[in-house]
Chains A and B, each alone.
Chain A
Amino acid sequence: MSEHIVSPKIYVGIFAILMVGTTLTVMAAFHDFGAFNIVIALGIATIKATFVVLYFMHARYSPKRTHLVIICAVFWLAIMLALTLTDYQERPILGQRAAPDAVHQLPV
C-alpha cells in the first residue's frame, strides 16, 4: 500500500462542499416539500458523508478491502432497518396497530 497524500486544496474543497451541504439542508428544512423534506435531508447528509468517507478518510485511495468493509457496514445497516420495517408497514405500532385482519383490507 503506497501511501497516497491528499493535497490540502482538496481538503479545503471538501470542506466547502460540506458547508454548502449544511446550508442547503437548513434551507430545505424551512420549505414544505411534504414527505420529501426527510428525503432531501437524508439525501444531502448521505452525500456529505460520502465526501467525508472518500476524501477525509481516504477511502478513495484505500485498498479494495476497505471498500468491502464500508459496503458491509451500509449493507447490514440496511438489512436491519429494511427488514424490521417490513413488519411495521402492515402493523403500525401500539395503539395504532391494526388487527391482523387488516392484511386483507389494505388498499392494493
Chain B
Amino acid sequence: MHRTGELYGQFQTLEQQKETAALGMWIFLVTEVLFFGGMFLTYTINRHAYPAAFGMGSNTLDIYLGGFNTVVLILSSLTMAMGVWSAQVGKKSLVTIFLILTLILGGTFLGVKVVEYKQKFDHHLIPGYHFDISYCAKSPTNCADLSPAARETEDKQLEEAERLDPDLNNHAQLYFSLYFGMTGLHALHMIVGAGLLLWLLKESVGGRFGPAYNTPVEIVGLYWHFVDIVWIYLFPLLYLIDRKAGR
C-alpha cells in the first residue's frame, strides 16, 4: 500500500483513518473484556464456593502495596490523558513529558508487582506442587519479612479457615491460581502497553504528534485506560475480599 504523509493508502481522508483506528481499538477492547470475562466468571464461581479460602488467601496480600499500585495506575491514566490533550493542543514537548511520566508510573506499577510476586514465591504461595498455604505457619523463620504481629493474625486466620474449609490448601490454591492468572494477564497487558508507549515516545521526540495528527497517542491511550479499568476491578476483588475484621 502506498502512503502519502500520514494517510495510508486504503483510506480517502485522515478523518476516515482516525475514525477507523479508534473503532478498531474499541472493538479490540471488547474482545479484551470478554477475555478477562472468562477469568472473572471462574473467579466468581470459585469465590462463591470457597469463601473461607478466598478470604484467607486475599488477606495474605499486602493492602498497602495494592493500594499504592492503584493510585499509581490511576495517576498514569491521568498523565496519559494529559498526553493526548497536549497533542491535541499542539504542545509537542509536553506530549513527550507526559508519555515519559506515564511510562515511569507504569514501570513503578510493574516493579511493585514484582516485589509482591517475589514475596508470594518465598512463602510457597505459587500454585503447583509446592503450594502450601500453611508454609509460613509451619516455618516462620522462612517468612521473616512478616512482622510478628502480622504473622500472628495470619496464623489465627489460617486456623479459622482450616476449621471452615477442610480442603483449604486446594481451595486457597485456586485463589492464588486466579490471583496470579488475573494479575499476570493484567501485567502482561501493562508490558505490551509499555512497549507501545516506548514507540510513541520515539515518534513523539521526532515531533510527529500535533493537532493534525495524533491518532496513535489517542489509540494507545484507549488501551492504557482499559488496562487501568481492569485493575480498578481487580483491586477490590483480589485484595479486599475479607478485610472487615480490620486485618
Contact = CB atoms under 8 A, between A and B. Distances in A.
Q: Do chains A and B touch in the complex (CB under 8 A)?
A: yes
Interface string A1-42: 101011110011011001100100110011111000100011
Contacts of B129: none
Most buried by A among B15, B44, B232: B232
- Report the contact-size class of chain B (Cβ under 8 Å from the partner): 35 or more
Contacts of A102: none
Provide the main secondary structure of the chain B interface.
Answer: helix
A49 B78 contact: no
Interface in B70-94: 70-71, 74-75, 77-78, 80-82, 85, 88-89
- Report the contact-size class of chain A (Cβ under 8 Å from the partner): 35 or more
Contacts of A55: 81
Nearest to A94: B49
A98 interface: no
Provide the main secondary structure of the chain A interface.
Answer: helix
Given A30-B246, A84-B41, A57 B67 contact: no
Contacts, number: 131
Interface in B27-44: 27, 29-30, 33-34, 37-38, 40-41, 44
Contact of B44 (A1, A41, A81): A81
Nearest to A3: B88
Interface stretch (B16-24, B108-116, B156-164): B16-24
Nearest to A50: B229
Given A37-B244, A66-B26, A8 B85 contact: yes
Interface of A: 1, 3, 5-8, 11-12, 14-15, 18-19, 22, 25-26, 29-33, 37, 41-42, 44-45, 48-49, 52-53, 55-58, 62-63, 65-66, 69-70, 72-74, 76-77, 80-81, 84-85, 88, 92-94, 96
